[in-house]
Amino acid sequence: MTRLDALISNSGAYSRSEIKIMVKKGRVSVNGQTVKDYSLKVSENDVISVDGKILDTEKFVYIMLNKPAGYISATEGEKNVIELVPSEMYRKGLFPVGRLDKDTEGLLLITNDGDFSHELMSPNKNVVKTYRAELERSVTESDIEKFKNGIVMRDGTEFKPAVLRPDGEKAAVVEISEGKYHQVKLMFAATDNKVTYLERLAIGGLALDPSLNRGECLRMSKEMLEKI
């Protein structure tokens, strides 16, 4: 059980003082009954309405973004991915789960749930991320072998074994289980190739929703989250 004002506050739509006033004015109902006590104990399953409209009182939100190029994976500064979250999905404290480079497009998760992000990013979780890369030249059997064996860069950075599959001329699909800085670009650089375009297609079993245009977000259901 939680207090009515706390549950309404989860929506992120009203300040604490606004909530108190609107409850006292009789604008809020719980399961269809108007209530006037903002400290009333309610459960997360109760249906809260404001002015007859059902309020979304979920504390944590999980958003899938089809990231366009030109946005940084950060919460502030230049053009950042949080600016792309529409107001009805917005919550205070949203941040991107991991990072895509400014010029990388595709699947990026955004949440306000720190535990979820921590779990997903944990290096020993080995969540596979799938990318499609366009390249300066087509991949060879020898490149596939190198990716399969893992790559050690000249500066000592080690990348674990990865799956590399050609995807037509001068393009490939790559599966990596880590998320090191510029990892895909660096792995191709280590095979004397160059990424000219990069897109993330999937995180674990969760694929980028094909109905999402670049720059669009969707709120993820529990079932979608379980696919990861």
> Which tokens go with 227?
């696919």
Q: Is 184 in the site for ligand URA (CB under 6 A)?
A: yes
Between CA 9 and CA 22 the distance in angstroms is 12
- Site for ligand URA (CB under 6 A): how many residues? 8
What sign has the CA pseudo-torsion 204, 193, 186, 213? negative
Each residue 99-138 as x (binds ligand URA by CB under 6 A) or -, in order, gives -xx--x----------------------------------
Q: Is 172 in the site for ligand URA (CB under 6 A)?
A: no
Q: How far is the CB of 200 from ligand URA (least distance, A)?
A: 7
Of 193, 134, 128, 123, the residue nearest 158 (C-alpha): 123
Helix boundaries (H) for the chain: 4-10, 16-24, 114-121, 141-149, 183-189, 222-226
Q: How far is the CB of 81 from ligand URA (least distance, A)?
A: 12
Of 28, 33, 31, 32, the residue nearest 5 (C-alpha): 28
- 84 near 71, Cβ under 8 Å? yes
- 32 near 185, Cβ under 8 Å? no
Nearer to ligand URA, 214 or 219 (CB): 214
* Residue range at the interface with ligand URA (CB under 6 A); choices 26-34, 56-64, 139-147, 176-184: 176-184
- 198 near 133, Cβ under 8 Å? yes
Tell which one of 198, 206, 220, 228 touches ligand URA (CB under 6 A). 198
Q: Which residue has the tokens 């269809």?
A: 32
Nearer to ligand URA, 42 or 162 (CB): 162
Q: How far is the CB of 25 from ligand URA (least distance, A)?
A: 49
46, 56, 101, 103: which is the annotated catalytic residue? 101
Nearer to ligand URA, 63 or 162 (CB): 162
Q: Is 185 in the site for ligand URA (CB under 6 A)?
A: yes
Q: Which residues bind ligand URA (CB under 6 A)?
A: 100-101, 104, 182-185, 198
Which residues participate in catalysis according to the annotation? 101
